[in-house]
Amino acid sequence: HYMALYPNAWLSGQRYFELWPRVINLRHAGVL
């Protein structure tokens, strides 16, 4: 399984999906 072979990539992916909604919120707020 890909995620099992690349835990670092999985963790970075999790971090990305956790931060993405915040980026969208900043865009709606007119910051970006």
The model's pLDDT over 1-32, given as tens digits with 9 standing for 90+, comes to: 455 666 677 777 777 778 888 888 888 888 75
Write out the DSSP string of 1-32.
Answer: -HHHH-HHHHHHHHHHHHHHHHHHHHHHHT--
What is the reported pTM?
A: 0.36
Give residue 4's pLDDT: 63
Residue 19 is which amino acid?
L
| Residue in this structure with the two tokens 């999790």, named with its chain if needed | 14
